[in-house]
């Protein structure tokens, strides 16, 4: 039995939750004022600031005069800060966001005297498989956490092992991060209470001292705490006051025999609140957009811009990381809190977009204004379809895309715009009012190419890029004024745009590279079907992927689509039958199942007498496009969904609302998957909608990708606490079950249902309260019962986008890692800005990465005070076997660094670097 105890004073600070950020910050300033005064008054006092620098930054923004006081306590080891910028939800952001969170927190803590070298993760709703590797590759050897630990751990610590074999010693806060508070309830009885607690938990401590976490949410410890503990220590067990770091470094002695590998999502010792994966869909989508836009901005800035926009990128990352907090992106806050998170993510995306567009503007300056620049954010060659607005071809001609190397590709016209924008009649005295619409040369969002002024008529001819001579608004005003005087009476004012069309163009782009094209008319029709060669779509960055010489065009009939690789047909009930390249057939794809939800933002809960709506009341199928590059069908199904739950929350309302759900089904030439998007206006409350992918045979496992790993899961989850262990799981980039892989646009929730015979993806979970006191699947409230009507998403258009890959060889054989990257990362397109018409510039390649199942998580510009500027590349092996990865580009030196950017080794590398990656290894290199 342990004969001593270590108390760790701390607080847990949710930056925003049931109150918005600024309200909580007001409390934070008061709490940290108390902490500083207590520490400076009592040299024995120690305090751990929750493992996140955001609390310190937020405090110092209001109390800048206290920075030196904070730094002095950090340097003395009495105030433990960092290593994170914020305590995140690990499953609802990318692996790269986790790394940047650690980097920014570590850096900010270093400015105050140094970060606590402990991966403190006290209140996250489960933990990702690769967290031990992330910590270990940042030089951190300890973690401390509560939720998700499996029942096999019977001590107070275990060795947590990542898929690659990395390990960190992990302190298991088995009674939560506030286990010391009960001992402190009666100050003059602390000694007795501590004895009782130590004896009750003796089996977990062995010879190590009891760890008593003395703190809770949003409150500073009592200033008398140290005095109380000194008194209690003199009356019984020896008591030490320490930071968490001091406890782990100086007080634990026993070995740690227990090993846990992979993610931590057990319910056995604490609630992991899995319903946060699916509530407030909009936040999950905004997080994905912000991360993706920021990633693209970094890549474009590093590879194609002379300007270092790091300050803007840092700002955007800070806002993304703030939003990844475990009570922010999860959507478990009030409506005003979630509105702030959404706005912050939008601001991050806007900041990143500005950097991205500015970077692309530099090479676009070399492209003629009648052409387009295309940039590939991915480090492997690919062929993508891009939509551009072009001059409509004259009658009797068809458009083709021409490239710098002289090649030509057919173009698919998908829409034509009206040419007459305005046709008005007015008195001559009113003509001056028309001229006020003109801003320099702009009119109706276009530019005036030329105008025709005749007695009684004025015609403006607009163009996106004027081909005529200079335009002088002052001369036009004079001419119109004179004509109005000379010809009084009625005038006709006509505003016409050159005939425009939206064209779909196949564009082959080098790895991380640039290309350009222009669309021109040609006599005759399209080139013969299949006559255009392109790279495999999707390009898997692997040398052993066969490359067909040409693609079969996409075709369509009234209810079928095909491109020679996949075929789709719409069944009588509106679901899809999909056949893959190897003949694998999936039937019933896209079946929608709507049920009631009487739960809250933390946990789903079906009503006791649920009504499931599976069948539509109406069905229509419309052919939208029939190739040759892209074919589309729109399937519209109308469902009668109950309006809400009834007053008895175990029943759904008898009143139903007709809700049309549009499902856009699309195949593109060369792609071995079917793109699907769903959209509907949500009119119902208290319900969950899922899309089902039936499997040919039942399966016992699923696999989902995210945060540098592909994690395999079974049909059940481990229970044992006060929460029903629903086997709903997170997926970030794809989820796979048997022969069906689904590529995802954003973090999503899924479940294998009907004994493993169907994969169900949650499209919407609409609820109206942060937490409910009486929950059928959870014993205790997760928070106060605060209304959150915005979480119903009433009146919102709910859209989801994904793709289905049928393959008998599963996600590995289908190259789902690469497919998911292509699906999520569109090429970037911008119009050229060179004023003079001329030749297209030659293609330009950036960094290229070749290797099977390798994820390139980041490509960015880095600088330091010691070495020259370089480009940092972070790679992850997304497979369970060793692999060789080749990086090529314009560089002469490569430095391997850890996840905090500290050099490990340096080598000469003449435009090529070969890396041997172990299974699931994360590797970061800087090339110069």
Does position 365 have pLDDT exceeding 90, yes or no?
Answer: yes
Residue 129 has pLDDT above 90, yes or no: yes
Q: What integer pLDDT is reported at residue 303 of this predicted model?
A: 97
CA-based nearest residue to 218, from 123, 332, 309, 148: 123
- CA dist 161 and 138 (Å) reads 15
Residue 498 banded pLDDT, cuts 50, 70, 90: confident
Q: Which residue has the higher pLDDT, 639 or 417?
A: 639
Sign of CA dihedral 115, 116, 119, 121: negative
CB 207 within 8 A of CB 256: no
pLDDT at 534: 38
pLDDT digits (tens, 9 = 90+) for 672-707: 999 999 999 999 999 999 999 999 999 999 999 999
Percentage of residues of the chain with pLDDT beyond 90: 90
Does residue 526 have a pLDDT over 80? Answer: no
Q: Is pLDDT larger for residue 523 or for residue 611?
A: 611
Beta partners for residue 799, in sequence order: 679
d(CA 410, CA 94): 37
- Digit-coded pLDDT (tens) for 255-272: 888 999 999 999 999 999
**415 has pLDDT over 50:** yes
Question: Which of 885, 884, 894 minimizes the C-alpha distance to 862?
Answer: 894
Q: Residue 18 and residue 23: Cα distance in Å, rounded? A: 10
| Residue whose tokens read 């054989």 | 813
Q: What is the mean pLDDT of the chain?
A: 94
- At 601, list the tokens: 């933002």
Instruction: Name the least confident of 390-394, 799-803, 812-816.
Output: 390-394
Query: What average pLDDT score do residues 125-149 get?
Result: 98
Q: Considering the entire predicted model, what is its pTM?
A: 0.94
Mean predicted confidence (pLDDT) in 520-528? 66
Report the pLDDT value the prediction gives residue 418, as an integer from 0 to 100: 81
Q: Say which residues have a Cβ less than 8 Å from residue 201's Cβ, sequence separation at least 6.
A: 174, 175, 210
DSSP state of 377: -
Q: What is the pLDDT of residue 254?
A: 76
Query: What average pLDDT does range 784-792 have in this prediction?
Result: 97
Band the pLDDT of 536: cuts 50, 70, 90. very low
Mean pLDDT, residues 190-201? 94
CB 365 within 8 A of CB 124: no
- What band does 2 get if pLDDT is binned at 50, 70 and 90? low
- Which pLDDT belongs to residue 524? 65
End-to-end CA distance of the chain: 57
Q: What is the dihedral of CA 31, 34, 36, 41, to 10 degrees?
A: -160
Q: Are strands 118-121 and 142-145 parallel, antiparallel or unpaired?
A: parallel
Is pLDDT above 70 for 547?
no
The secondary structure of the chain in percent helix, strand, coil, rounded to multiples of 5, reads 25, 35, 40
Instruction: At 473, give phi and psi (nearest 5°).
Output: -65, -35
């Amino acid at each position: 039995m342990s004969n001593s105890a270590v108390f760790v004073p701390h607080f847990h600070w949710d930056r925003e939750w049931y109150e918005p950020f600024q309200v909580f910050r007001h409390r934070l300033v008061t709490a940290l004022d108390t902490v500083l005064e207590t520490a400076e008054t009592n040299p024995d006092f120690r305090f751990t600031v929750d493992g996140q620098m955001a609390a310190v930054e937020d405090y110092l923004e209001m109390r800048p005069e206290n920075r030196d006081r904070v730094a002095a306590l950090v340097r003395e080891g009495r105030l433990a800060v960092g290593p994170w910028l914020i305590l995140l939800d690990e499953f609802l952001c990318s692996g790269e966001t986790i790394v940047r969170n650690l980097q920014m927190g570590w850096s900010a803590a270093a400015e105050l005297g140094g970060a606590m070298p402990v991966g403190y993760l006290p209140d996250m709703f489960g933990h990702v498989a690769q967290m031990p590797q992330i910590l270990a590759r940042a030089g951190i050897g300890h973690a401390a956490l509560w939720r998700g630990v499996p029942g096999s751990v019977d001590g107070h610590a275990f060795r947590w092992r990542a898929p690659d074999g990395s390990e960190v010693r992990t302190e298991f806060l088995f009674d939560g991060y506030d286990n010391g508070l009960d001992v402190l309830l009666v100050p003059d009885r602390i000694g007795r209470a501590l004895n009782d607690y130590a004896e009750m938990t003796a089996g977990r401590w062995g010879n190590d001292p009891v760890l008593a976490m003395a703190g809770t949410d949003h409150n500073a410890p009592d200033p008398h705490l140290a005095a109380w503990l000194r008194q209690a220590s003199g009356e019984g067990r020896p008591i030490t006051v320490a930071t968490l770091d001091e406890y782990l470094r100086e007080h634990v002695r026993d070995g740690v025999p227990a090993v846990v590998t992979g993610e931590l999502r057990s319910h056995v010792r604490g609630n992991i609140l899995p319903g946060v994966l699916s509530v407030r869909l909009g936040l999950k989508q905004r997080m994905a957009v912000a991360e993706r836009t920021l990633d693209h901005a970094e890549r474009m800035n590093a590879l194609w811009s002379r300007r270092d926009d790091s300050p803007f990128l840092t700002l955007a990352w800070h806002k993304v990381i703030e939003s990844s907090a475990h009570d922010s992106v999860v959507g478990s806050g009030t409506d005003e809190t979630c509105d702030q998170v959404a706005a912050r993510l939008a601001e991050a995306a806007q900041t990143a977009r500005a950097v991205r567009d500015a970077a692309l503007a530099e090479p676009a300056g070399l492209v003629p204004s009648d052409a387009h620049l295309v940039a590939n954010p991915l480090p492997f060659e690919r062929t993508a379809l891009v939509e551009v607005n072009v001059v409509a071809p004259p009658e009797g001609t068809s458009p083709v895309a021409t490239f710098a190397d002289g090649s030509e590709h057919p173009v698919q016209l998908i829409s034509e715009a009206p040419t007459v924008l305005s046709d008005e009649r007015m008195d001559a005295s009113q003509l001056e009012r028309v001229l006020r619409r003109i801003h320099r040369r702009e009119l109706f969002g276009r530019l005036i190419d030329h105008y025709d002024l005749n007695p009684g008529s004025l015609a403006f001819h607009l163009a996106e890029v004027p081909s005529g001579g200079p335009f002088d608004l002052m001369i036009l005003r004079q001419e119109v004024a004179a004509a109005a005087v000379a010809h009084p009476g009625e005038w006709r004012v006509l505003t016409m745009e050159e005939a425009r069309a939206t064209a779909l163009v196949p564009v082959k782009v080098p790895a991380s590279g640039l290309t350009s094209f222009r669309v021109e008319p040609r006599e005759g029709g399209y080139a013969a079907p299949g006559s255009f060669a392109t790279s495999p779509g999707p390009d898997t960055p692997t040398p052993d992927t066969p490359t067909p010489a040409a693609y079969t065009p996409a075709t369509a009939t009234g209810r079928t689509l095909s491109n020679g690789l996949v075929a789709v047909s719409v069944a009588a009930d509106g679901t899809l039958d999909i056949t893959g390249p190897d003949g694998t057939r999936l039937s019933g794809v896209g079946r929608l199942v709507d049920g009631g939800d009487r739960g809250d933002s933390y946990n789903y809960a079906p009503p006791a007498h649920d009504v499931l709506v599976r069948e539509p009341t109406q069905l229509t199928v419309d052919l939208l496009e029939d190739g040759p590059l892209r074919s589309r069908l729109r399937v519209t199904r109308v469902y009668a969904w109950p309006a809400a739950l009834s007053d008895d929350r175990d029943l759904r309302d008898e009143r139903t609302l007709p809700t049309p759900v549009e499902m856009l089904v699309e195949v593109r030439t060369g792609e071995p998957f079917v793109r699907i998007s769903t959209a509907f206006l949500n009119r119902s409350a208290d319900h969950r909608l899922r899309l089902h992918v039936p499997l040919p045979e039942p399966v016992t496992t699923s696999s989902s990708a995210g945060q540098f790993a592909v994690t395999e899961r079974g049909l059940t989850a481990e229970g044992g606490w006060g929460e029903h262990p629903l086997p709903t799981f997170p997926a970030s980039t794809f989820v796979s079950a048997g022969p069906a892989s689904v590529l995802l646009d954003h973090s999503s929730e899924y479940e294998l249902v009907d004994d493993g015979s169907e994969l169900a993806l949650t499209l919407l979970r609409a609820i109206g309260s942060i937490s409910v006191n009486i929950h059928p699947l959870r014993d205790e409230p997760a928070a106060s019962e605060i209304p959150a009507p915005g979480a119903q998403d009433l009146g919102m258009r709910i859209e989801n986008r994904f793709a289905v890959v049928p393959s008998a060889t599963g996600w590995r054989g289908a190259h789902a890692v690469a497919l998911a990257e292509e699906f999520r990362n569109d090429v970037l397109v911008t119009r050229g800005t060179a004023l003079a018409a001329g030749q297209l510039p030659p293609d330009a390649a950036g960094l290229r990465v070749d290797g099977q199942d390798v994820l390139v998580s980041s490509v960015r510009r880095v600088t330091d005070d010691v070495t020259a500027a370089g480009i940092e590349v972070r790679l992850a092996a997304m497979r369970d076997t060793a692999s060789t990865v080749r990086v090529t580009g314009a560089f002469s030196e490569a430095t391997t660094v850890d996840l905090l950017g500290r050099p490990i080794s340096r080598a000469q590398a003449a435009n090529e670097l070969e890396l041997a990656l172990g299974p699931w290894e994360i590797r970061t290199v800087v090339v110069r």
